[in-house]
C-alpha cells in the first residue's frame, strides 16, 4: 500500500544540511521534557538554549506525543533483543511517531555522558553493563552445563559390556573413561 507523506522541503534541507548542528538532548524520560541540550564546538561543547537554524527555544520544551514516542521506541527495541545498547532517531509525522534510524552503539557515548553529567561507567550505563555481564556469565554457565550433560550422555553411549575371566561375569567399561 502506498502512502503519501507531506514533507516541508525547507525543514528537510535544514535537517540534511551538512553544516547543521548535531545536538544531544537530556530528557526527562517520564515526561519527555528537554532538560538540557548540548552541541559540539571546535573547542569542546556548549549548552544550547535555542535551535541555531530556527531560533526555537529549548527551555521548557516537552516533546509532543511523548507517550506514543516511547511506546514506538520500546517496541522497536524489543524487536532487536540482541542489540543491547540502542539509540533511536524518531520523527513526528502527521501519522504519529516513526522510527527513522537505530544507532546500535547508542549514539555518541561521549556526548551522552556530558548530557547526563556522568561518566560512561556510572549510573544507568554502569547498571546496564553489570546486568549484561551477569547475563553473559549466566549464559556461559548454562552452556557449560549443557555441554557436560551432552558429554556424559555420549560417554554413556560408548559404554559396552566386557567379559572378565571364565566365570562369565560381565562388567561395563567405558572407552577412554574413568
Q: Mind listing the pLDDT tens digit for each residue in 89-103?
A: 888 888 889 998 888
- Show me where the domains of the chain are located: 9-119, 133-173
Q: What is the pLDDT of residue 164?
A: 60
Q: Mind listing the pLDDT tens digit for each residue in 32-85?
A: 898 888 887 788 778 889 888 788 888 888 988 999 999 999 999 899 888 877
Q: What is the pLDDT of residue 128?
A: 80
Residue with cell 544540511: 17
Q: What is the pLDDT of residue 105?
A: 64
Q: What is the DSSP code string of 126-176?
A: HHHHHHHHHHHHHHHHHHHHHHHHHHHHHHHHH-EEEEETTTTEEEEE-TT
Q: What is the pLDDT of residue 143?
A: 93
**Mean pLDDT throughout 165-170?**
54
Q: What is the pLDDT of residue 146?
A: 94
Q: What is the DSSP code string of the chain?
A: --------HHHHHHHH-TTSPPEEEEE-TTT-BEEEEEEEETTEEEE-SB-TTT--B-TT-B-TTHHHHHHHHHHHHHT-TT--S-EEEEEEETTEEEEEEEETT-S-HHHHHHHHTS-TTSHHHHHHHHHHHHHHHHHHHHHHHHHHHHHHHHHHHH-EEEEETTTTEEEEE-TT--
Provide the percentage of residues in the chain whose pLDDT is more than 90: 17
> Is 168 or 33 the better-scoring residue by pLDDT?
33
Q: Mind listing the pLDDT tens digit for each residue in 132-142?
A: 889 999 999 99
For residue 28, give the nearest of 63, 53, 65, 2 by alpha carbon: 63
Q: What is the pLDDT of residue 70?
A: 92
| pLDDT of 2 above 60 | no
Q: What is the pLDDT of residue 141?
A: 93
Q: What is the pLDDT of residue 148?
A: 93
Amino acid at each position: 500500500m502506498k502512502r503519501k507523506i507531506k514533507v516541508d522541503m525547507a525543514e528537510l534541507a535544514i535537517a540534511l544540511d551538512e553544516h547543521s548542528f548535531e545536538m544531544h538532548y537530556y530528557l526527562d524520560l517520564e515526561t519527555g521534557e528537554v532538560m538540557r541540550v548540548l552541541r559540539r564546538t571546535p573547542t569542546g561543547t556548549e549548552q544550547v538554549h535555542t535551535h541555531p537554524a530556527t531560533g526555537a527555544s529549548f527551555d521548557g520544551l516537552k516533546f509532543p506525543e511523548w507517550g506514543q514516542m516511547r511506546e514506538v521506541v520500546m517496541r522497536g527495541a524489543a524487536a532487536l533483543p540482541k542489540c543491547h545498547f540502542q539509540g533511536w532517531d524518531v520523527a513526528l509525522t502527521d501519522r504519529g511517531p516513526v522510527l527513522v534510524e537505530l544507532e546500535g552503539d547508542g549514539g555518541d557515548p561521549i556526548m551522552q555522558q556530558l548530557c547526563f553529567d556522568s561518566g560512561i561507567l556510572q549510573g544507568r550505563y554502569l547498571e546496564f553493563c553489570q546486568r549484561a555481564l551477569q547475563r553473559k556469565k549466566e549464559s556461559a554457565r548454562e552452556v557449560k552445563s549443557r555441554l557436560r550433560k551432552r558429554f556424559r550422555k555420549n560417554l554413556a553411549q560408548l559404554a559396552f559390556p566386557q567379559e572378565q575371566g571364565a566365570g562369565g561375569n560381565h562388567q561395563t567399561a567405558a572407552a577412554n573413561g574413568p
